[in-house]
Structure 1
C-alpha cells in the first residue's frame, strides 16, 4: 500500500459514533420550509424601512464568508461574478472573505467580521451554535437536487481496487478490514462529507476508531487537496464528495481519471446560506429577496447551482443528529471520565437529541 504522505505528522482524533440515524432522518424538510416561509409578508412589511430611510446604512459593505473547499484562487474565480451580481442588485459592495479552513469562516462570523456565509452542513451547525449564524436559504444543484453524497476514493491504479467490488461500492468494508495497512485522509474536521458523514457511516457503524485503525491518519483540509493526494498516489484512501468530483472533472480531467470512487454515502442535505442573526431585520429581508429570486444561469452555472430555495435552521437537524451521536460515543470511550459524569453528560446529549425530533 502507498505510504507517502502529503502532510507532516498525523492528525489524532479518537472517536466512534453510535445510533442508527440516517442522513435523511426524522426531520421534516417541508415543515421547516413552511416555518421559514410562514409570515413572510408580515415580516417583510415590519422589516421595511420607513419612506425616505435607507436600510442599515452602517452596512455599506458586506463581507461574505466562503468555506475553503478549494484553493482561494479557484474559489475567487467561481465566486467573484456572483458577488459582483449581488453588489449590483443590492446597491452595497459585497466582499468575499476566503479563509484557509472552515473554522476561519465560523470564527469570523462570531467576531462580526462577516455578515453572511456559505457553509456546509457541519460547519453551519457549529456556526449556529458558536457564532450566531442563521440559515435562510439552501443551494439547489443545476439538476434540481437539494442534496449530494460523500465518497471514499482511491487511486485507480492502487492494488486495493482489484480487491473491491467497485460496482457494488463496498470499499468501506475493505477499508475497515484492511485499515492497518492503509493510509487515510479526512478533509477538514468541520466538513460534513469530508469528516462527519464517513465517520459515522463507515467507522462508527462498524465499531472502528479510525485514529487507532490506520497506519497513518491525516487531515488534508480541502476536498481539492484530498482528490489531488489520491490522484498523485500520496495516500491510499480519502474522503470527498460528489460535487467536488464533478468540479475536479472540469478543472483537472487528468487527475479525475486517476480517482476511483469506492463508497458512496446516503444523501446529505445541500448547503446552507446563513446570515448573522443579530443583523437588522430589513437587511435580512434584502438578503432573502436576493437569494430566493436570483436565477442568473451564467453566474450560477460555474458554481453548479440553479438557485436557492428558502430554508430554516432546522433543515440541518439531520447533521446535528450525527454530531450528537459522535459526541455520545466519544464520552462512552473516554476512560478519563467517571461513570457518574458519563451518565450525566450522556443524559444531556439524549435531551438534545430528543429536542431535534
Structure 2
C-alpha cells in the first residue's frame, strides 16, 4: 500500500510540474511602457493583445508599470516575456534583461520612424531652442523618463549634450514624466517647455484637441527608428514562431482574421502593419548614448585631466565601433 501511495504521490508531483511548465510556456505577460496614463494605454492596446491571444492560443496578459524601468526589470526577472519599448529602453532590455528585438512598429503614414520635439505653450515668448537654452534658471523644463528615447536620450544628446549644457544647472526646475503628462503640463502652463515626440503629439491632437491647440513645437530632432517589440531570447522556439507570425501578418493580406478590423486596431496605435527587425535597429541609439556620455565626461569638473582623457578615449572607441557597425548595417 505504501508503495502504491508513493507512486501516486510521484505521479501527482510530476503532473503538477508538467502543468506548471506548460502554463509557463503558454502564458505571455506583455509589457507596455508608460508613455501615457494606464487607462489610455489599455484602451489602445487591449484590442491588439486580445487578437494576439485568440490567434496564437497563448494566454496574453498586459503588464503595466509606473515607469520604463519597471517593464525592463520585469523582463529581466522573467515576469514579462514580450514588451513594447522605445529604442532606449529596448537597448536596456537587450543588454540587461535577455531581450531581443524581433519586429518593429511602423507609423501609419509609412515613415521609417518618428521625431523627438521640444514644445512650449502656444502663446509663450519662447520662439526657438536658443531661447530655452539661455540658462538663466528662469525656465521650468520637463524631460521624459530616463529610459525614454525621444523624451530623454535624444534631447540630452542633441539639445543639451551638443552644447555642453547640464539641464539641472540651466533651468529653474527639471521634472521627469511620461509624454502625455509633459504635453498636458505645457498646455496648462505648468512647465515652460518640455520634451515629447511626434507620435504622442498625434495622440494628443486626436484625444485632447483643446490641449493640442495650446501647444507649439520649437525644435525637432533627427529621425528616430520606430519602436521595437522585444521578446526574451529564452522563449521556446514554437512560442516565438507563433508570436512572430502574429505580428508579421497582423493587418496584412496574409492575416487569417478580419483584416479591416485589424487595421483599425493598428490605427488606434497610430501604426501600420509591423515589419521584421533585429537588435541592429538599436545601433543609432547606442551611438547617441555614447555621444551623450562623451559630452557629459567633457563637462565633468570632478574628473582629473588624466581620468577625463581616459574616460573619453574609452567612450570614443566604443562609439567608433558602433558607428562602423551602423555603416555596415546600412549597406545591407
TM-score (norm 1): 0.78
CA deviation vs aligned residue, 1:6-64 (integer Å, no higher than 9, x gap) = xxxxxxxxxxxxxxxxxxxxxxxxxxxxxxxxxxxxxxxxxxxxxxxxxx833221000
Q: Match for residue 3 of structure 2?
A: none
For 1:191-238, what per-residue CA distance to the aligned partner results, in whole angstroms no more than 9, with x for missing partners?
A: 11111111111122223221111111111x210000110111101001
Cα deviation for residue 178 of structure 1 reads 5.4
Q: Which residue of structure 2 aligns with residue 197 of structure 1?
A: 154
Matches within 5 A, 1:85-164: 85-160=51-126, 164=127
Match of 2:215 among 259, 262, 272: 259
SS at match of 2:133: helix
Extract structure 1 runs of 4+ deviating beyond 4 A: none
Measured against aligned partners, the alpha-carbon deviations of 1:228-250 in whole angstroms (never above 9, x if no partner) come to 10111101001111110110011
Answering whether residue 230 of structure 2 is matched by residue 274 of structure 1, we say yes
Shift of 1:179: 4.9
Q: Give yes or no for the alignment of 1:298 onto 2:264.
A: yes
Partners of 1:178 and 1:346 lie apart in 2 by 26
Decide whether the 8 Å contact of 1:63 with 1:114 is kept in 2: yes
1:283, distance to aligned residue in structure 2 (A): 1.8
Corresponding residue pairs, total: 292
Distance in 2 (alpha carbons) for counterparts of 1:277 and 1:347: 33
Unaligned runs of 5+ in 1: 1-55, 165-170
Q: Which residue of 2 aligns with 1:210?
A: 167
Q: Structure 2: where are the runs of 5+ without partners?
A: 1-20, 252-261, 325-332
Helix, strand or coil: the match of 1:254? helix
Deviates more, 1:253-262 or 1:333-342: 333-342
Equivalence map 1:54-93=2 (5 Å): 57=22, 58-93=24-59
Which structure would you say has the larger RCO, counting Cα contacts within 8 Å and 6 or more residues apart?
1
Question: 1:177 is paired with a residue of what secondary structure?
Answer: coil
> What TM-score, normalized to structure 2?
0.84
SS of the residue corresponding to residue 134 of structure 1 reads strand
d(CA) in 2 for partners of 1:325, 1:264: 18
From 223, 236, 260, the counterpart of 2:179: 223
Is the Cα–Cα contact under 8 Å of residues 151 and 262 in structure 1 kept in the other structure?
Answer: yes
